[in-house]
Structure 1
Amino acid sequence: MGRRVPYGSRPDERASDRDAAGEPYAVVLREEGRPQPVAVLHIAWAHGYFGVWAYDDRGRRTREFDLRRLEPKRLFLRHVARWRYGTEDMPEFAQQAGRVRVDLYPDGRSRKVSEPQGSGGGSLHTMADMPEEQRWIPVSEFGAWEWTLALVTDGQFPDALREAPGTNPTPLATAFATANWQPPSPLRHRHLDEMFTPGTRFSPPHDGDVGPYVVQRIIDAEPLRLPTGHVIACDPSWITPGKPFTVAVPPGDYPTQIATAAYASEYEGTPLHLEDYTAARVLISEKPTVAWELALRPGEDPRTLRDGEFYGFGVDSGTGCFVDAAAATRLIGRENALTQDANPDGILVRQDPESGGNLIAYPSGMGDGTYPVWIGRDVDGEVTCLVADMLILGHQELLND
């Protein structure tokens, strides 16, 4: 690679101050004589984020590298993406552009999705063949970003992610841009208290002539019995319940509620009243909730989440549940119990005499999917409740009366 010489803008003190404070800023890597940037770096150390976008000579983004500072001196390569544009005039991120996406996780898991014909063609889902030594990169000092050039030119990754290298770029310089971007934002909690306030109105579920969502019922189920306080949320029909959340609560019996919301619609001139199950919660204390956090299981690191992502429990039977870890293996996965034992409200309770625990199951909103659980805390940091959000009202807007 040719020797780099500075030209154009040089690093300024504002960028250095932002770096030291962990605030977002951007770095533009340019090639002399080329109007389009070679790459743009997005850096926000307070969020542990270091992102790299590579550009072609038409200004289209061709590669993304999402790195996370999970250790003080090392960056973990969380995500890699590549786009191939078949023609010179194909727009950036065109539907027919070929693409490869790789997601990596610190526990060794990986996922690779290849779409050679773009999102309109077929796709291949495999594990990523990426050695451990390529998943970690040392953290460089401010201004020492030469290693990013290997990402945007020579690849440093397996052949499946590597484009044919061209000629060595001409000298590069760095210029700092004002931070007009935001670091990745995982899913945020919304309306968790309002979901359990009867009469609260939300925007309609669909465009068209339908009424607003209105919180309809708060169904009191039996108390959730937690002999150990180690809570599991899962699909009660699964073979194994999975691991409990890393945050435990004091052992005890706790009120459990299921919330619904309804809206008015019509079909072929016939009025309809439609009701959805929107959330389930376990009330640990009566103190007000002042803060929320995502419930995590062992090995789940929120610092690895990308835009809109979250950790949650999977559902394949249209039903979710809360259960104590001591009772889970004896109560999870019994065939046909869901349809036989559920009460008219769709709530199912199973008892485990051996541990003293029970299981409370409920319809999971729109059905199958993955749903987050949020932990509420009071002003002293103690747990007030756990809320399983069915992701229905969280995307709606509150309506003013």
Structure 2
Amino acid sequence: MSAEAARERDAAGLPYVAEHRIPGREAPLEVRLVSWQQHHVGLWIYDECGRRTHEVDYRLLEEDRLLDRQTRIWAYAGPEVPEFDERASRTTVTLGPEGRARVRREPQGSKGGATITTAEVTDKQRWLKRPDFGRWPVFSREVHGLTEPVTVREAAGAHQGSDAEPADRWRAPRPGEPGPLDELFRPGTRMTTSYQPEMTVVEPVRSGTLNVPSGLLGIDCPLDGRGPRLTVAVPPGEYPLEEARISFGYDCMYDQRWVDRTETTAVRLCVSETPAAYWEMAMAPEDDPRLLGEGEVYCFSTDGATGAFADAREWGALQQLFDRGMEAGDPDAGDPDPSGADADPLSMFLMRTREPASGAELAAFAVSSDGGHPVWVGRSADGDVVGVVVLVDGMPALVAP
């Protein structure tokens, strides 16, 4: 790609790659990956063996300033050590716009121990003024100990060939995607995981309803006394709750026989019968999608493998009733079987609570693990909410036709 073509792509916000090289050195000093439309600039610094030693992830959060979101540094014991070897020492520094840094050090590599510390950082350490095209500083000068000024110019022959975007071009990091959520609720769909190569979706199961009189649905863990972290505006009303189910079989070594099994894969609050035209990640007001790395998502978090749908306006009162029902066993606090189906051992719903004055309700459900769980909001072509889904575990993949 010629310098002029790169300049045009820079002005249009389209992605392009720039290399900094010096004569007599086969590996580049650094490679810069620019995609203004995705608010991203990536920087890689290389050693003489062609291995990446530094990776910097900048995010354009303001018109003229880039946040140094994350820096990763690898140290190799010798020239024979491969790039990103699991034994290579590594340090990861993650910065937020609010001014704190999280530093993770792994002196023995990914197989050894790690220490994590936090520190305050200055504006100068966090932010870089957005350079004009062709005026980027050469960050690798200090890393490589270069004392002579480094000039940047178009390499000989760089103008030759096509300026068309290659099919395998670099791309900016993409946040996590919902996957085939609709298919989880479509009977007969064949799916697969690394553990179960052949699975078949069966008929979803209705598990009662949830009343949301305020028109603001909250989703979070009901165990921690906070929340809800995530909210979704819906028309006030009472909505069906559904559980997606999938069946599979396996050879059980313990029982020495073939076992057929059905499990719940997701829970859904159904707002409308209209199919979802697209799915989007639920986010809190403080969440910024421009800060997400490759495959990352915003979530609610749980230390007790539990989530809940509830009327957000009455979350506090409903959560207190949930505590009374779960911890104190108060029979007046809530219904331990919100679906009313005692015979359904597969249901992930644990308990429903109801605030008497408003009629607002909470329905708690189990998930497979502690940690973060994303919430996906389905919308119609007009942008109306048609459903809200939480995966119980990971997302299976569709079986190739």
Q: Same fold (TM over 0.5)?
A: yes
- Which of 256, 266, 279 pairs up with 2:266? 279
Equivalence for 2:332: none
- Which of 180, 183, 186 pairs up with 1:191? 180
Q: 1:399 to 1:359 in 2, by over 3 A?
A: farther
Q: Does 1:81 align with 2:69?
A: no
Equivalence for 1:201: 190
| Cα contact 1:205–1:213 (8 A) shared by 2 | no
Q: Does 1:398 align with 2:384?
A: no
User: How do 1:223-372 residues align onto structure 2 when only pairs under 5 Å count?
Assistant: 223-245=209-231, 247-268=232-253, 269-332=256-319, 334-335=322-323, 337-338=325-326, 341-342=336-337, 343=342, 344=345, 345-347=347-349, 348-364=351-367, 366-372=368-374
Per-residue CA deviation, residues 322-369 of structure 1 (Å, 9 max, x unaligned), is 1121221123364484597245424221212244211112221x3223
Equivalence for 1:173: 152
Q: Percent of aligned pairs with the same residue?
A: 34
| Cα contact 1:75–1:139 (8 A) shared by 2 | yes
Q: Distance in 2 between matches of 1:395 and 1:103?
A: 31
Per-residue CA deviation, residues 246-297 of structure 1 (Å, 9 max, x unaligned), is x422222112212122211122222223333211111222223212211100
Root-mean-square deviation (Å): 2.4
Equivalent residues, number:
373
Q: Distance in 1 between matches of 2:204 and 2:100?
A: 39
User: How do 1:122-141 residues align onto structure 2 when only pairs under 5 Å count?
Assistant: 122-141=113-132
| Cα contact 2:32–2:41 (8 A) shared by 1 | yes
Gaps of 5+ in 1: 1-8, 155-162
Equivalence for 1:5: none
Q: Distance in 2 between matches of 1:61 and 1:191?
A: 35
Per-residue CA deviation, residues 162-205 of structure 1 (Å, 9 max, x unaligned), is x6x73425634355887621110111121111111122210244
Q: 1:254 to 1:110 in 2, by over 3 A?
A: farther
| Cα contact 1:81–1:99 (8 A) shared by 2 | yes
SS in structure 2 opposite 1:173? Answer: coil
| Cα contact 1:229–1:249 (8 A) shared by 2 | yes
Q: Distance in 1 between matches of 2:392 and 2:119?
A: 31
Please give the TM-score of this superposition, normalised by the length of structure 2. 0.86
* Cα shift at 1:94: 0.6
SS in structure 1 opposite 2:313? Answer: helix
Gaps of 5+ in 2: 159-164, 330-335
Equivalence for 2:162: none
Equivalence for 1:373: 375
SS in structure 2 opposite 1:140? Answer: coil
* Cα shift at 1:20: 2.0
* Cα shift at 1:229: 2.3
Letter in 2 for 1:398: V
